Chains A and B, each alone.
Chain A
Amino acid sequence: KQEVTQIPAALSVPEGENLVLNCSFTDSAIYNLQWFRQDPGKGLTSLLLIQSSQREQTSGRLNASLDKSSGRSTLYIAASQPGDSATYLCAVSNTGNQFYFGTGTSLTVIP
């Protein structure tokens, strides 16, 4: 069974810093990997999806990379802002739609 791990569990940074969130997974035969954002009291919001054949995806200040062979992905957030404070979840799929989630990284950006 696919196991997804995220480190660190929590991260606190001053506004403006660049930061990296890490995700690792045990079964490299993935179909895709997706990064989500979870805000308290709200659902999950998709940030970036990387297909298994891709190495990275970018959206604005976010960049996600994928190294399938080593079972790792990183989410890079540039010039962090207080509005980036949330829990970031990494999820992988072996079939396309059934996602296995990590426990998330809780990010706090201090003004």
Chain B
Amino acid sequence: EPEVTQTPSHQVTQMGQEVILRCVPISNHLYFYWYRQILGQKVEFLVSFYNNEISEKSEIFDDQFSVERPDGSNFTLKIRSTKLEDSAMYFCASTLDGSPEKLFFGSGTQLSVL
């Protein structure tokens, strides 16, 4: 079965550093998403991306965050200057046609900001 791949599975960084979280969505999918889950809290929507532009973003997704599809396979989330409160599990997801019931999630990247 096709799957969404996220690397690395765990990333540790110092406060103030830039991090890039990488995702390889399912190859023929067109809609891409980032969600995050702070330990013990709810999964939260960050951003959706279609046709090389952001289609929706939450209030969490401020100027410190950016997304990019640099080539035909990768979808990245960049945090410019990490804060302690950015520590969370970050999930990438994709769908072929935007259908939410066909939303496939990756297994996540655990980001720890020290």
Q: Which residues on A are within 8 Å of B, measured CB to CB?
A: 4, 32, 34, 41-46, 48-49, 89, 91, 93, 95-103
Q: Are B48 and A97 in contact (CB under 8 A)?
A: yes
Please tell me the size bucket of the interface on B.
20 to 34
- Contact call A101/B100, Cβ cutoff below 8 A: no
Determine the chain A residues whose CB is within 8 A of the CB of B44 once the complex forms. 101
| A43 contact from B42, B48, B91, Cβ within 8 A | B91
Point out the residue from B93, B100, B108 that lies within 8 Å of A32, measured CB to CB.
B100
Q: Once bound together, how far apart are the Cα atoms of A93 and B58, in whole Å?
A: 13
Are A103 and B58 within 8 A (Cβ)?
A: no
Residues of B within 8 A of A100 (CB): 42, 45
Please, which residues of chain A bring their CB within 8 A of the CB of B105?
Answer: 43-45
- Take A43-B4, A49-B101 as given contacts and tell me if A98 and B48 are in contact as well, using a CB distance cutoff of 8 Å: yes
Chain A CB count within 10 A is highest, among B33, B56, B103, for B103
Q: Are B100 and A49 in contact (CB under 8 A)?
A: yes
Given contacts A43-B106, A97-B48, contact A102 B100 (CB under 8 A): no
B75 at the interface (CB under 8 A from A): no
What chain B residues lie within 8 Å of A101 (beta carbons)?
Answer: 42-44
Q: Is the pair B31, A97 in contact by a Cβ cutoff of 8 Å?
A: yes
Chain A residues closer than 8 Å to B51, beta-carbon distance: none
In the complex, A48→B103 CA distance in Å?
11
C-alpha gap A34/B31 in the complex (Å):
18
- Residue pair B41, A103 in contact (C-beta under 8 Å): yes
- In Å, the complex CA distance between A41 and B91 comes to 11
Could you say which residues of chain B place their CB within 8 Å of the CB of A48?
101
**Given A43-B106, A43-B108, A103-B41, CB of A98 within 8 Å of CB of B56:** yes
